[in-house]
């Protein structure tokens, strides 16, 4: 009977069953009935031909009234023709219009009949697109929301002008305000209406006239894309209808206004509106979509981003340690893996003969072979000296670790006096931290002084967040970062870190609170709470990890996490194993799963790192990474290789390559040098290419 009703509506609007909109609605009705199941025989028995014949018979008899009504709400900017469109729908002046001032000043509705069909239209005041007018728009939209609370609309018409050529998303503030007040679901049942549809298309880029169809397509795409971004759903595809209300518009023999493409716009607009109401009735009848009564626009519940949450869970996080435990842990293992002895390195450096560094003028007088021998000797001595310093630093750390362990056995009064003296001494000498590395700039000024900060006895470390992609003359502050390490009862470390970044449009919040407790030799349990911005929502994550050092060179970790995002809860599990093969080679394997709303995502990763034989002094480093993600049966496999190779005293070559199972990949090479500065001339190649290609493009009108 819903099919019959819709065919009767199409008949009254002068549309045949072969109309594109009519055919699509009938197809979706049949598909919805088949998806419901159990009606396969009935669908075959009640065929399209029978429904069409019944509709024609009822319309010819004219005895049975059509039980159908539609409520339409009209939204749009000031001056786009909302009231004029309503007058055209009813073929009479329901609302007054004025070309020089706002026509509608309050929310009002009008009820009438169109081709014997009861239609109720809600007219709303005009809205303004700029950021400064959004507070006024909010007042108007809240009054609209109160007006439609008892009788919600069946369809929303969002009106804009076809002849307004804007590609900069200038209406985005208005669209986001509508989304924030009514919810993203207002766009799920909306039709884009472009008025002034009889306007001539503008000239093309080369001065030739563009076609009307291309003009309509481009303008429709701009409005649809803006609505997708405002709704946060790139799958939206709102239908578009064209409208022309001017009295000079061309008409057919029946007096209906006809657009330049030959379409009669009024029946098409009404058919789209009625089709939306018909499909909503079918969904309610088949219980494919339940909407709570009294709520015109219910928020579509979005599925949690399980791959993103799983990737965050699988990341390796360092264990929070006490201040005295942060030194010496890795040194012990590195010393066991180091084949060379400390005494040999130090004695070899001490036994070297005296060496005098040459000036630049003296170096320039040497032959090529002499230069090579000189720089080789210089590099050899520097490497031995750095090794000696590194060994001395490791000894100092071990000594400090032993002193911290011995201090625990001393009386509490003695340790408190020592700590008080150290704090008093440290409080008088705040230390300036190193300057931040600023991005490259053409500005002659060096604004590093803007980002300097001191490290004092205050345990809070507060630093600015630098915007690396800002303009040359910008201050460059993007946010603020704060960190602090607390110690509870001299046993439990608690780490807090938070960061807030803000630009002209969005604000992002990241906060992490973590702690760890040791419960045996090589065993520790960590507990953390994270809060971060994901889209327009805040994600709250509670996680826990337990680390076991079952062997000297092997660390195993098991972790759990629970994330609350929007109105969904997601839980995850991960297993991680870190194997230290040698001083140079380390392998980390991770696997896990994340579930939420009866959906599961699986993933894993493998990372192998090959260091230089003189690590951490050497510059060569190679990394191999493999990742696997399975979600909804879609398997994603990625491989990433990166290698850094020194090819000179001050020159490094970094090569990266990545490839996935879909055939997409990237290869990049980066060469940095402080010796061969002429390499920077390569930057002239794209500039010269553009200078040669631009005249050819202008010649062909591109």
pLDDT tens, 323-352? 767 654 554 555 554 544 455 556 677 778
Q: Please return the burial class of 330, using the count of CB atoms within 10 Å of its CB with bins 0-12, 13-18 and 19+.
A: exposed
What SS3 state is found at 695?
helix
Q: What is the pLDDT of residue 424?
A: 54
pLDDT at 73: 93
Nearest to 602 by CA among 625, 578, 632, 581: 632
What pTM was estimated for this model as a whole? 0.52
158, 75 contact by CB (below 8 A): yes
Write down how long the chain is: 702
The token pair that represents 222 in the structure block: 């701009």
> Of all helices (H) and strands (E), which one includes residue 513?
strand 507-518
- Encoding tokens for residue 508? 């992002």
Structure tokens at 475: 């201050």
For 684, residues 6+ apart whose C-beta sits below 8 A from its C-beta are: none
C-alpha–C-alpha distance, residues 443 and 578, integer Å: 46
Q: How far is CA 91 from CA 264, 280, 329, 607, in A?
A: 14, 27, 84, 71
- Cβ-in-10-Å burial (0-12, 13-18, 19+) of 226 comes to buried
Nearest CA to 317 among 516, 86, 458, 112? 516
pLDDT digits (tens, 9 = 90+) for 195-248: 999 888 887 666 676 788 888 888 889 888 889 888 888 788 889 999 998 888
Angle between helices 2-12 and 20-36 (to 10 degrees): 170
* Rounded distance between C-alpha atoms, residue 664 and residue 642, angstroms: 17
The pLDDT value recorded for residue 300 is 46
* Distance separating alpha carbons of residues 26 and 48, to the nearest angstrom: 8
Establish how many alpha carbons lie within 13 A of residue 101's alpha carbon, considering only the half-sphere containing its beta carbon: 2
Give the strand pairing for 108-114 and 117-123.
Answer: antiparallel
CA distance linking residue 584 with residue 615, whole number of Å:
8
Which residues of the chain have a pLDDT value below 70? 35-47, 63, 96-103, 165-169, 204-207, 209, 287-303, 324, 326-347, 404-405, 407-429, 437-447, 455-457, 467-476, 504-505, 676, 696-702
| Alpha-carbon gap, residue 492 to 108, rounded angstroms | 65
Is the separation of the CB atoms in 467 and 436 below 8 Å? no
What pLDDT, on the 0 to 100 scale, is given for residue 476?
A: 65
Q: Which of 499, 501, 448, 438 is nearest to 471 (CA)?
A: 438
| CA-based end-to-end distance of the chain | 55
CA atoms 17, 18, 22, 28: torsion sign? positive
Q: How far is 272 from 55, CA to CA, in rounded Å? A: 19
Burial of 181 (0-12, 13-18, 19+ CB in 10 A): middle
């Amino acid at each position: 009977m819903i099919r019959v009703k819709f065919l009767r509506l199409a008949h009254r609007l002068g549309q045949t069953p072969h109309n594109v909109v009519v055919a699509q609605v009938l197809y979706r009705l049949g598909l919805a009935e088949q998806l419901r199941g159990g009606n396969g025989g009935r669908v075959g028995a009640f065929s399209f031909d029978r429904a069409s014949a019944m509709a024609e018979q009822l319309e010819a008899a004219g005895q049975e009234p059509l039980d159908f009504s539609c409520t339409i709400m009209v939204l749009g900017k000031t001056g786009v023709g909302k009231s004029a469109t309503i007058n055209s729908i009813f073929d009479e002046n329901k609302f007054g219009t004025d070309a020089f001032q706002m026509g509608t000043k309050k929310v009002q509705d009008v009820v009438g009949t169109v081709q014997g069909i009861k239609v109720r239209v809600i007219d709303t005041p005009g809205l303004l697109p700029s950021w400064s007018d959004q507070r006024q728009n909010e007042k108007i939209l809240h009054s609209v929301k109160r007006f439609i609370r008892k009788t919600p609309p069946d369809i929303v018409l969002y009106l804009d002008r076809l002849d307004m050529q804007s590609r900069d998303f200038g209406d985005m503030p208005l669209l986001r305000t509508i989304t924030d007040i009514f919810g993203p679901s207002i766009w799920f049942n909306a039709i884009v209406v472009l008025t002034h549809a009889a306007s001539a298309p503008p000239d093309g880029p080369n001065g030739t006239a563009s076609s009307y169809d291309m003009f309509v397509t481009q303008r429709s795409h701009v409005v649809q894309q803006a609505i997708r971004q405002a709704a946060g759903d790139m799958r939206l595809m709102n239908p578009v209808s064209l409208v022309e209300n001017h009295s000079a518009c061309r008409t057919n023999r029946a007096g209906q206004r006809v657009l330049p493409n030959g379409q009669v716009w009024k029946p098409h607009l009404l058919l789209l509106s009625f089709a939306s109401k018909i499909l909503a009735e079918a969904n309610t009848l088949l219980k494919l979509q339940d909407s709570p009564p009294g709520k015109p626009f219910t928020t579509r519940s979005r599925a949690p981003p399980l791959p993103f949450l799983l990737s965050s869970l699988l990341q390796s996080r360092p264990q929070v340690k006490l201040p005295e435990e942060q030194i010496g842990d890795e040194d012990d293992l590195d010393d066991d893996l180091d084949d060379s002895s400390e005494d040999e390195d130090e004695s070899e450096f001490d036994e070297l003969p005296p060496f005098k560094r040459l000036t630049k003028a003296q170096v320039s007088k040497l032959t090529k072979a002499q230069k090579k021998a000189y720089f080789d000797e210089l590099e050899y001595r520097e490497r031995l000296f750095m090794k000696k310093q590194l060994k001395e630093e490791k000894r100092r750390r071990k000594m400090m670790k032993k002193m911290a362990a011995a201090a625990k056995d001393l009386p509490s009064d003695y340790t408190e006096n020592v700590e008080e003296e150290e704090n008093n001494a440290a409080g008088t000498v705040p230390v300036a931290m190193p300057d931040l590395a600023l991005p490259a700039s053409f500005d002659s000024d060096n604004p590093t002084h803007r980002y300097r900060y001191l490290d004092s006895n205050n345990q809070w470390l507060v630093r600015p967040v630098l915007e690396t992609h800002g303009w040359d003359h910008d201050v460059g502050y993007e946010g603020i970062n704060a960190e602090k390490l607390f110690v509870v009862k001299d046993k439990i470390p608690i780490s807090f870190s938070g960061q807030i970044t803000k630009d002209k449009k969005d604000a992002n919040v990241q906060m992490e609170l973590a702690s760890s407790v040791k419960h045996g030799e090589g065993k520790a349990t960590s507990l953390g709470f994270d809060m971060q911005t994901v889209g327009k929502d805040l994600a709250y994550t509670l996680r826990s990890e337990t680390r076991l050092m079952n062997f000297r060179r092997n660390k195993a970790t098991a972790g759990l996490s629970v994330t609350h995002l929007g109105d969904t809860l997601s839980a995850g599990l991960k297993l991680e194993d870190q194997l230290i093969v040698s001083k140079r080679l380390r392998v980390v394997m991770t696997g896990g799963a994340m579930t939420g709303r009866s959906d599961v995502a699986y993933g894993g990763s493998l990372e192998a790192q090959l260091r230089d034989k003189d690590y951490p002094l050497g510059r060569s480093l190679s990394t191999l990474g493999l990742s696997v993600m399975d979600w909804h049966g879609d398997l994603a496999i990625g491989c990433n290789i990166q290698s850094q190779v020194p090819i000179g005293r001050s020159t490094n070559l970094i090569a990266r390559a990545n490839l996935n199972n879909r055939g997409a990949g990237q290869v990049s090479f980066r060469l940095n040098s402080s010796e061969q500065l002429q390499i920077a001339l390569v930057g002239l190649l794209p500039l010269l290419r553009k200078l040669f290609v631009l005249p050819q493009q202008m010649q062909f009108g591109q």
